[in-house]
Amino acid sequence: MVEKGVPTLNLIIKNKFGKNFEANLSITNILDPDISLIRENTNVEDNSTLLGEFVKDGDVTLREFNRGINLGLTLKYNF
């Protein structure tokens, strides 16, 4: 099984305001790309019960999914 490389883009912003306050914003996985788990086929016939058919040539996609976008907001006060 092969997991193809996926691009990621993250953003982190830190902002101090006033004497004691700090606000942080973080956004991870902004692009939210499709992730594919692939089984490489080496040109051998395969009667897979998962697929229910003969596979002769080409790679077989076992699973595709997205991880989603994560958003975080933090407000800090320093004494």
pLDDT tens figures, 7-64: 999 999 999 999 999 999 999 999 999 988 888 876 655 555 555 555 556 788 888 8
How much is the average pLDDT of 64-77? 96
DSSP assignment of 8-26 equals: ---EEEEEEETTTEEEEEE
Residue indicated by tokens 């009667």: 47
Q: How far is CA 24 from the centre of its chain?
A: 23
Q: How many domains does the chain have?
A: 1
Full domain range(s) for residue 28? 2-77
